[in-house]
Amino acid sequence: MNNFSNQDEKELEKLGAFEISRKMLALAQKNEQSNIFLNAGRGNPNWIQTISRLAFARLVQFGVYDSKQTIDNGIMAGYMPTEGIRERLFAFLDPDKNEEDQFLVDAVNYCHDTLKLDRDDVVAEWVNGVIGNDYPVPDRCLKNTQVIINHYLQGLSYEGVDLENETQLFPTEGATAAIVYAFHSLSENHLLNKGDKIAINTPIFTPYLRIPELNDYDLVEVDLHSYEKNNWEINPKEIEKLADPSVKAFIVVNPTNPTSKEFDETALTAIKQATTKNPDLMIISDEVYGAFVPHFKSIYSVVPYNTMLVYSYSKLYGCTGWRLGVIGLNDENVFDHNISKLDAADKAELNKRYGSNVLDPAKMKFIDRLVADSRSIGLYHTAGLSTPQQIMESLFSLRHMLTTTNGGTSDPYIEIARKLVDKRYQDLHKAMGAPEDNTDTNTHYYSLIDVYRLAEKTYGKEFRDYLADDFQQVDFLLRLAEKNGVVLVDGVGFGAKPGELRVSQANLPTNDYAVIGKQVLDVLKDYYKEFEDKNSKK
């Protein structure tokens, strides 16, 4: 038993999945068995990529040193002249002794030799960027940063479809800000209006279910559901719902969270077919987990005209605190097209809205409207992700590009990350005796555990029915935290069915996952004892 009444549990279930998880933390830290506190509820990885961070620090050191050329008053320095800055940086570095110094030398040369960028211009952008001595200019994305990130995404996500030279980028404060900016600008530009239908693939990251319901938007959701019986692969018949012209937008996470499945070729083909029947469909695709499956293929690479790409560096590189995300839009896109089709009154309103930002607001691209809206129009002149954040994105991107082998398909760092989450996934599932999905389309970043299915497998169908019928869905989570010190996340908040719990394979030491599996079985055993006691009294 836990210390929450049935009514308390019903009240808890009104909260979002992560808000419920926070309530569990205090219980788990003071658990009855004095077990080690294990929080597998967050997706924050417990690893970091090192070399790009060390390189960033070296650029800061050089930047302060080089700034003293123009002003040197002890605790105050000046600015850095661009001319000759590459030569001065290389003289400062010691690549024979420091791996990060060698990386910077290689990265500068790669930018020149492969990306055809000017070495001094690149180094000046990086050094001024890490020092953070000026506003982001251009405000949407620094010039060389856009080229670097585009080349990174081209190799990571597009599977041979050449899009890097026709994609405009807007770096953002993580994918979180990207989604907030997207919904806000879609609303302000009358691309999504109250009562409009938007499709969402479920189960999905909890906030994506909650944002459309807010009074700010008041949208009608169309559910594209995937099921465990189909190994969480989305059925093409579900995707056919997108062909309905009344569906204005499709919000998707690919690979999925919490079910960790990449959209396979059948699903991608179905999306492309749907856009032929519903050509004005706007797709927002969050692809933060793409690197965790081999040969990942972005929805953007299949229907670039219809898709707003959202990418985040946070999960792969262990940088959730940095807030590093990016929005990508094709030069020719449905968002601009749909704005061009608005009625005269709406166009006049928007011309007035953006008239203080540009001379010809009617020609202002949607991606630039995103930037202006992100600073409430009036502060457009100081818009843009901070320059240190943009340079960090460049350095993560370049490390990947410099270490890929086999024609750009294999990055040792990515291979290590994949193997790490895979080992944890295997340990968790083996400890519980739960079925495993070892297909290439599974990222293994999360698991969605069906407690009721596990109960039936372990103790029989009658016990499963007892567990489902006699207890609130959150009861199992509370007991697991209060007694055993383990925090997981309720799957219902993601659009999953009652009894499904999300486990993150990213944020705890590897040895803990077998422990979590055993603790889950331990709590099930307690329930079974109560079930037996209840039956013995009949």
pLDDT digits (tens, 9 = 90+) for 456-485: 999 999 999 999 999 887 889 888 988 888
Domains of the chain in start order, with CATH, are 6-43+412-536 (3.90.1150.10), 51-134 (1.10.20.110), 162-376 (3.40.640.10)
Question: pLDDT by residue (tens digit) across 399-434?
Answer: 999 998 665 568 999 999 999 999 999 999 999 999
Question: pLDDT by residue (tens digit) across 474-523?
Answer: 889 888 988 888 999 888 888 899 999 999 999 999 999 999 999 999 99
Q: Say if residues 428 and 404 touch (Cβ distance below 8 Å).
A: no
CB count in 10 Å sphere of residue 74: 6
- Total number of residues shown for the chain: 538
Here the tokens at position 147 are 């080229």
What pLDDT does residue 4 have? 55
Among residues 25, 50, 1, which one has the least CA distance to residue 523?
1
Burial level of 185, CB count in 10 A (0-12/13-18/19+)? buried
Strand, helix or coil for residue 441 = coil
Share of the chain above pLDDT 70, in %: 93
Cα dihedral sign for 485, 488, 489, 490? Answer: negative
Burial level of 6, CB count in 10 A (0-12/13-18/19+)? exposed
Question: pLDDT by residue (tens digit) across 280-312?
Answer: 999 999 999 999 999 999 999 999 999 999 999
Across the range 4-21, mean pLDDT stands at: 60
Chain CA centroid to CA 18, Å: 16
pLDDT at 163 over 70: yes
What is the identity of the amino acid at 55?
A
CA 119 → CA 103, 403, 502, distances in Å? 15, 20, 47
Strand partners, 77: 72
Here the tokens at position 60 are 């800061």
* Range list of β-strands (E), 137-253: 167-173, 197-202, 220-225, 247-253
Alpha helices (H) in 244-298, listed in sequence order: 265-277
How do beta strands 38-39 and 486-487 pair?
Answer: parallel
Here the tokens at position 282 are 């706007």
Cα dihedral sign for 420, 426, 431, 434? Answer: positive
pLDDT at 8 over 60: no
What pLDDT does residue 6 have? 59
| Close Cβ partners of 111 (under 8 Å, ≥ 6 residues apart) | 117, 119, 122, 144, 147, 148, 398
Question: pLDDT by residue (tens digit) across 37-86?
Answer: 788 988 999 999 999 999 999 999 999 999 999 999 989 999 999 999 99
| Close Cβ partners of 117 (under 8 Å, ≥ 6 residues apart) | 111, 144, 147
pTM for the whole structure:
0.93
Strand partners, 487: 39
Helix axes 119-131, 387-403, angle to 10 degrees: 130
Q: Say if residues 463 and 455 touch (Cβ distance below 8 Å).
A: yes
Burial level of 16, CB count in 10 A (0-12/13-18/19+)? middle
